[in-house]
Amino acid sequence: MEAEYSGEIMTLSMGPQHPSTHGVLRLELKTDGEIVADAIPHIGYLHRCFEKHAENVEYPGVVPFVDRMDYCAAMNMELGYVLAIEKLLGIQINNRVRCLRIIMAELDRIASHLIAAGTYGNDIGSFTPFMWCFRDRETILDFFEETCGARLLYNYNWVGGLMHDVKPGFEKRVIEFVDYFEPQVDNLNKLLSDNYIFIRRTANVGILTPETAISYGVTGPNLRGSGVQFDVRRNEAYLGYEEFEFDVPVGKGEYGPVGSCWDRYMVRIREVRESCKIIRQAVAKLTPGDVHESIPKRVKPPAGEIYMRTECPRGELGYYIVSDGSTKPYRIKVKSPCFTVMSAFREASKGTMIADIIAILGSFDIVLGEIDR
C-alpha cells in the first residue's frame, strides 16, 4: 500500500557528462519525485591505469604521471611521491628545498581550495564567487608558471630536489600576494559562506558522523568537517611541519549538526588562512642554497617497501611503493583520498533531494583524475 502511494521509482542517470559532477562521474539516482531513494556512483571513466604505467618507467619519470592524478593540486601529488622515494633512498634535502616545497605545496593548497569554493558556489547557484576565486587563483598559477613553466601540471618536485630554483624576487611577490589575498577571503565569506540561502542549502545536508567518516576512510577537510581533529601535517609531520605554527580548523556545527556540507566547506576556507600563515613562516625561514644538490644520478632504491602519506588538499594521499632494487618501481599503489570519500557518498546521500545530491558532491570536493587514476 505504501509503495503504491509513493509513486514509481525513476532511474535518472546524472551521466558522465554533467556540469556539476566535477569530472566524468556517473551517478545513478533512483528518484521518487524529488527525493532520492538511492545514489550509486559509477567511476572508471578516467581510468588510465597509472599504476601499470609506473611499473615500466624509471622512478623520476613517474613524477609527471603522478601530476595527472589530481590535476588541481599537482604539487601535493608529487610531494608525497618524492618524499616516499627519498625515504627509501635515505636522502636528506637541504633547507632551501624544504622551504620551497612547503611554499609551493601551500600555494597549491590555496589554489585547490579556491577551485573547491568557487565551483561549490556555482553548483549551489551563486555564480559570482566562482569568478572571484578564479581571479585570485590566476596569481598563484602565474607563480607556478614563472617557476616551472606550467600552470597546472608541474613536474617540479624531483627525487632529491626541485626542477628549478625560483626567480629572484619570488619571496617578495609571494608575500605581496598573501597580503592582498587574506582580505579577499573576508569578501568571499560575506558573499557566500555567511549567505542565508547558502546556509539553508548546505547546513543540514549530507551529515557524516565521525564514526561513519572514519569507517569509510574519509580524511582531510571532509573528516575535519565532522569534528575529528586530525591532520597529517600535525600528527605525523613530514618536511619539518612540526616547526610551523598553524591551527587545524575543525567543523563545529555552527549552523546545523556537525559534519554537514557547510562544515566541510568552511574547514576549507579556514584552512586557506592557515596556509597563508604557513607561507609567511616558510618565506621567513628560506635560506640560499642549491636546489639540485641532493638529486641522485640514478634512482635505485634498495629492495623493500614503504608507505608514505601526506596531507593534500583533498585528504590524505598515501603511496605504497614496493621496490625490487631496480631502477623501475615494482609496484606503486596510491591511496587516493577522493576514492575513499566517494565510497562514503552512498551513505551520506540517503533520503535527500536531487538538489542536495549536488550539494553533497560539491562539499566532498572530488577530482575524478584522482579517483580513477
Partner 1 sequence: MESIAWLLHLIPKYDTLPELWRALIPIVVSCVLFFALLCLIVLFLVWLERKISAHIQDRLGPMYVGGWHGWAQTIADSLKLLLKEDIVPDSTDKLLFKMAPFIVFLGAFAAYVVVPFGISSFVTDLNIGILYVVALGSLSVIGIIMAGWASNNKYSLYGGMRAAAQIISYEIPAAIALMTVIIQVGSLSMVDIVNAQKGGIHHWFLFRNPFTFLAFFIYFIASLAEVNRTPFDIPEAESELVAGFHTEYSGMRFAFFFLAEYANMLLVTSVATTLFLGGWTQILPGPTQIIPGPILFFLKAFAIIFVQMWLRWSVPRLRVDQLMYLSWKVLLPISFVLVLGAGWMAVR
Partner 2 sequence: MKPQEISVILTEKFGARILESQPEAMNPWSAVEATAILDVCRFMRTEDSLCMDHLELLGGVDYKDRIEIVYILYSMKHYHRYTMKCRLPRENPSIPSVESIWGVANWHEREAFDMFGVVFEGHSDLRRILCPDDWEGYPLRKDYRPPKIYRGMPV
Outline where the chain has alpha helix (H). Answer: 2-6, 50-54, 62-67, 74-89, 95-124, 128-148, 170-188, 196-202, 210-215, 221-224, 232-235, 261-285, 337-343, 345-348, 354-364, 368-372
Question: Which residue of 16, 20, 30, 38 would you call a contact of partner 1, by CB under 8 A?
Answer: 20
Cell 509513493 found at? 6
Q: Tell whether residue 225 is a contact of partner 2 (CB under 8 A).
A: no
Cell 613553466 found at? 149
Q: Tell whether residue 350 is a contact of partner 2 (CB under 8 A).
A: no
DSSP secondary structure string for all residues of 120-142? HHHHHT--HHHHHHHHHHHHHHH
Distance (Å, rounded) from C-alpha 250 to C-alpha 222? 10
| CA distances to 15, 47, 339, 356 from 40, in Å | 11, 18, 14, 15
Site for partner 2 in 170-189 (CB under 8 A): none
Q: Binding segment for partner 1 among 85-93, 250-258, 261-269, 347-355 (CB under 8 A)?
A: 347-355
Question: Could you give phi then psi for residue 25, rounded to 5 degrees?
Answer: -125, 140
Shortest Å distance, C-beta 153 to partner 2: 21
Nearer to partner 1, 5 or 196 (CB): 196
Radius of gyration of the chain (CA): 21
Q: Tell whether residue 40 is a contact of partner 1 (CB under 8 A).
A: no
Nearer to partner 1, 18 or 273 (CB): 18
Distance (Å, rounded) from C-alpha 196 to C-alpha 180? 27
Q: Tell whether residue 142 is a contact of partner 1 (CB under 8 A).
A: no
Residue 204 touches which of partner 1, partner 2, none (CB < 5 to 8 A by kind)?
none
Q: Tell whether residue 98 is a contact of partner 2 (CB under 8 A).
A: no
**What's the N-to-C CA distance of the chain in angstroms?**
46
Shortest Å distance, C-beta 253 to partner 2: 20
Sites of contact with partner 1 (CB under 8 A): 10, 12, 18-20, 34, 121-128, 130-132, 135, 191-192, 195, 197-198, 200-201, 353-356, 358
Sites of contact with partner 2 (CB under 8 A): 43-44, 47, 49, 51-52, 87-88, 212, 214-217, 228, 230, 235-236, 304-307, 309, 316, 318, 320, 322, 330-331, 333, 335, 339-340, 342-344, 347, 372-373
